[in-house]
Structure 1
Amino acid sequence: MDAIHFHARNEGRIVKRAVYIAIGIDMEGRKDVLGMYVGQNESAKFWLSILNGLKNRGVEDILIACVDGLTGFPQAIEAVFPQTEIQQCIIHQIRNTMKFVSYKEIKPLMADLKRVYAAPTEEVALAELDSFDEKWSGKYPKIAKSWKDNWANLSTYFKYPEAVRRLIYTTNTIEGFNRQLRKVTKSKTVFPSDDSLLKMLYLAMIDITKKWTGHRQDWGQIHSQLEIFSEERLERL
């Protein structure tokens, strides 16, 4: 789940709208857009309605949900799909914690932070996070604190082998989709309504997903790993 932002008219005013996009990969290794939603009052209740909608439309289970740090979303997932593992997006976490870092210090700080999220095991990652904290907390105390506060959902991917990690660790699929949507909508600075915004995005989605044929090249390896980790759940599907 990720968001892109647009401007639309609402009761005579121009307002910024977040459009949340859910993309899923089924057990055949094929990706699809599960839904696009205009957010207005994002809360656990809002996310709960989205997840119940997905379930009512036929989504039986979600093995791993990769999400941005959206307030109330993990709780809503747990309520509808209680066995789902939450992976908070590493890329968004990096962006959110790098906002106020001095330009001159971004490169060395990022090199130290990479030792955390690219560590071979969770134990090594935690040790590297402590080292990062000791080195940088004097200047940037909020960075390590944010990672530690969110660690339960940031560290999910460490239990999996490299092939599965790549699937849930990267955001290439959804960010690539968002870029294509922006290409289609870039000439439209303000949409007359939320409905017109969604209609244009829907038509763009139809064109984009026509090219989504076949499954991931590494799906055989990923599927065999998921079968081991989630054997009983997959047997029920």
Structure 2
Amino acid sequence: KQRYSVLYLDGMYVKLRRDTVANEVIYFAIGVTEEGYRELLGFYVGGQETALGWQDMLQDLYQRGLKEVLLGVFDGLPGLEEAFKNIYPKADVQRCVVHKVRNTLNRIRKKDREQVAEDLKAIYRSFTRSQAEEQFHVFQDRWRSKYPREVASWEQDLPVLLTFLKYP
């Protein structure tokens, strides 16, 4: 029976040669032990980004011994959170901050990116939830008029972007 503090799910596209060369996604499941060691738990070639596809992948990990997870970290792919909570109902969910920052900065004008990045960093590098929320309000006040959609997106996702602050 494996127990991991964190289960991190991510994917990347690679060129695979079968009959032809094509881009296919490979999904990785990485566990972080309570001692802080990372272990590759599985990788899955192809598949679908649907609740059923994620359910199959997570069910495979569960059947292979991954019985307990405290925190699942992943980006906002469709169906993933629902599938994760079906398999690990007691676990918390953390949205991947790296993906969120990257996606946000891609929608920010080049001249503002450095300052926006610094303001976002102040949020996710906070030591407490209240400090992070204060930093979010600074970000919100500074950028709401110029980038209303991006600020609203952070406001909506803030609870799952700060889940990690519950843990040491």
Q: Which has the higher relative contact order, 1 or 2, with Cα contacts under 8 A spaced 6 or more apart?
A: 1
Distance change >3 Å, CA 107–CA 76, structure 1 → 2: same
Quick one: percent identity of the two aligned structures?
32
Q: Which has the higher helix share?
A: 1
Question: Tell me, what secondary structure is at the counterpart of 2:106?
Answer: coil
For 2:12, the aligned partner's letter is I
**Match of 2:112?**
105
What is the rounded CA distance, in whole Å, between the counterparts of 2:16 and 2:60 in structure 1? 25
Question: Tell me, what secondary structure is at the counterpart of 1:62?
Answer: strand
**Match of 1:7?**
15
Does 2:153 match 1:132? no
Q: Structure 1: which 5+ residue stretches go unaligned?
A: 162-237
Aligned pairs (5 A) from 1:1-237:
1-8=9-16, 14-27=21-34, 29-161=36-168
Deviation string, structure 1 residues 141-187 (Cα, Å, up to 9, x no partner)? 122211122122111012223xxxxxxxxxxxxxxxxxxxxxxxxxx
Distance change >3 Å, CA 13–CA 33, structure 1 → 2: same
What is the rounded CA distance, in whole Å, between the counterparts of 2:33 and 2:123 in structure 1? 30
Task: Count residues in correspondence.
Answer: 160
For 1:135, the aligned partner's letter is R
Distance change >3 Å, CA 31–CA 120, structure 1 → 2: closer
TM-score by length of 2: 0.84
Deviation string, structure 1 residues 44-72 (Cα, Å, up to 9, x no partner)? 11111111111111111111111122221
Q: Which has the larger radius of gyration?
A: 1
TM-score by length of 1: 0.62
Aligned-residue offset at 1:131? 2.4
Cα RMSD, aligned residues only: 2.0
Q: Which has the higher strand share?
A: 2
List structure 1 segments (4+ residues) > 6 angstroms apart after TM superposition. Answer: none
